Amino acid sequence: SNVIMIKYPFHDNVDSSHHGYYEMTGQGEAVICRDGRSFPCTWVQENKTDMIRFVDDQGNDIPLKVGKSCVHILPDKVEITCN
C-alpha cells in the first residue's frame, strides 16, 4: 500500500572497525509513494521513542494508506527519483 523512502544522515568509519550508523532523530527528506503518486515530504522524529511523522511543506501530517508499508532507509547522500 505504501512505499516509503527515508534519507537519514549516515556517519561512516566512526571507529577502527569502520562501522557506521544512521542518525535517526531530528528531521530530513523522505518520499512516500502510494496510489501511483509520489509525495516528497519531511520525516520528523524528535526522540528515539517518538513515532516517525511525515509532513508536507506546511507542517501538515501526510497520512499513509491503510495496509502494509515497505520502508527503505537510505543514506542522506543518495538522491531519490521516482518515475
For 22-79, how does the pLDDT look when each residue is reduced to its tens digit (9 = 90+)? 888 999 999 999 999 999 999 999 999 999 999 999 999 999 999 999 999 999 888 8
The DSSP letter of residue 71 is E
Q: Are 63 and 39 in contact (CB under 8 A)?
A: no
Cβ contacts of 60 within 8 Å, gap of 6 or more = none
Cell of 73: 532507509
pTM, rounded to two decimals:
0.84
Q: Are 20 and 10 in contact (CB under 8 A)?
A: yes
